[in-house]
Structure 1
């Protein structure tokens, strides 16, 4: 039985885009045991991926070296007897634990000068593999094997009992169609559609008899509060749910509107009809991977800039992207 350790990304969206890789491994090696090493807060994501056997919490955050902690974790991992580690992040730090653990085959893209740390290091051709999910997926095959088959879309499973309990706990009504709006983007304001436009969309949907839920974390409460002031009938759930609860509640939505964010990839993996709003980032690199997904972007000359804050100071890529464009895209999803 083959045992494989995945060193997973720490961002929500990136973690979801790795799921097709796990499906590919299981298709090639049905008896394989796939364990994931990732920050503890990603557990709700990985627990909803049917291919994963076990979750190992990484006791360090983004950017921390913590050599002593990595060495101690590697000693524990060594005892599990992994045959292969696949390292998805491109940082040098992310390759240290598999190296310290002495895992025989250590696979990943070359990244930050990881010669030696990886002994199955691949050289990336960004033209052949333009999307992040494709790059993860390619690591599930032997070196040199071209990506010829169609990559499946990410899939998250739902615990219906847990979802029902969350609905009861929050006193939610399911009597009218739900549109979930996810106005946050942890990366920075250059990814966030302005509150005034989100509120205009919400008011229009509510006037048609739909209910609008705002989903997000504590960090999204400020922009959700701005939307609520302009659209008082929205239901603001930002910061009131755990990530696990937000995932389960999103599965109830008849459609979802998101920025390019982790929750956008959650909605896609739940196969929810989705409108994705792109500003400073590129839908060519991290698109929503779903059949029923529409991308709305102005595709200005200055975008994508991939900046956290607009370097030109005007953020026209989102400020000029008005609610009508998103409303039209939502209606096209119904056809």
Structure 2
């Protein structure tokens, strides 16, 4: 028998993409050759997974079925794959493997896609959903998936080249990732990040998307006015691949519950992860070098955060004290 050719339809968020790594490791270990189909902003995650043989960047945008584009790509992939693993729960993500005639199509039930999948897993309600790593790993059909930890790898030479391009030296800076794509209820205040930067003994590298440049500048500008050159704002100014290298070589990273938090965990670097509206019980940084700050779990914090986790984009009560009341000194002590 020949090698099983497998297509993995990747999630559209960086953090979720990282959390699929244990699934791919399981599939590769049993002899499957892995090709990942991913949106361009997620593709670099899969290039940091040695078990992935090929990454196909999908020419799709956010939103809309984009049936014509999917049908055109399906024709190019026709008869190429034996199995497809569909990680997202959307109908459109299951459409491509169906149109490409892939005989075995594995995914969770959802969005009226029963006919698009040949092997369907029951989709637990969000309140009872297991941690996301186990959720994705279950697509392998194997049991005992709860202990898997994501791992990313970069060649040492690639890291050094990226650091040189960014003017950085290994272990000689901290990284802040102050953004969170989901919304402000997951973001520690910019003023707190700035206060923390002032207290650190090394330069601070700020990472994020172009949309987060202004947020990072809100941190960098007042600090640099007092300590010139202390903060380097790379948000939107460097590739995701270079950002990965900066994270892999940092002394410590401080972040919200975000995609870059999961990237840091998968590289095994020291990190402090700040949680507010979301829960580290559901999407923790799976890393022995991680410290999680979540006031919901702090018995001395009063009054108790009965509202957390709310999983809302913006604080329904208008105070976001789950984040505001985490003091920069607390974070400094963890660093």
Q: TM-score, normalised by structure 2?
A: 0.90
Residue 158 of structure 1: how far off its partner (Å): 1.1
Point out where structure 2 has 5 or more consecutive residues left out of the alignment.
Answer: 225-229, 297-304
Aligned residues of 2:9 and 2:84 also touching (Cα < 8 A): yes
Task: Look up the SS of the partner of 1:116 in the other structure.
Answer: helix
Q: Give the equivalent residue in structure 2 for 1:200.
A: 195
Task: Look up the SS of the partner of 1:85 in the other structure.
Answer: strand
Distance 1:173 1:24 in 2: 35
Distance 1:78 1:151 in 2: 36
Change (3 A) 1:150 1:134: closer
Q: TM-score, normalised by structure 1?
A: 0.90
Distance 1:167 1:139 in 2: 37
Pairing 1:1-335 to 2, within 5 Å after superposition: 1-27=3-29, 29-30=30-31, 32-80=32-80, 82-125=81-124, 130-141=130-141, 147-148=143-144, 151-174=147-170, 177-206=172-201, 210-232=202-224, 233-299=230-296, 300-330=305-335
Distance 2:167 2:91 in 1: 47
Q: Give the equivalent residue in structure 1 for 2:301.
A: none
Change (3 A) 1:165 1:327: same
Aligned residues of 2:134 and 2:145 also touching (Cα < 8 A): no
- 319-328 vs 250-259, which moves further: 319-328
Task: Look up the SS of the partner of 2:116 in the other structure.
Answer: coil
Over 3 Å off, 4+ runs: 124-129
Aligned residues of 1:17 and 1:133 also touching (Cα < 8 A): yes
The aligned length equals 319
- 233-242 vs 178-187, which moves further: 233-242
Residue 151 of structure 1: how far off its partner (Å): 3.1
Aligned residues of 1:130 and 1:284 also touching (Cα < 8 A): no
Point out where structure 1 has 5 or more consecutive residues left out of the alignment.
Answer: 331-335
Task: Look up the SS of the partner of 2:42 in the other structure.
Answer: helix
Distance 2:169 2:263 in 1: 22
- 251-260 vs 229-238, which moves further: 229-238
Residue 86 of structure 1: how far off its partner (Å): 0.6
- 117-126 vs 11-20, which moves further: 117-126
Distance 1:137 1:149 in 2: 6
Task: Look up the SS of the partner of 1:226 in the other structure.
Answer: helix
Aligned residues of 2:137 and 2:145 also touching (Cα < 8 A): no
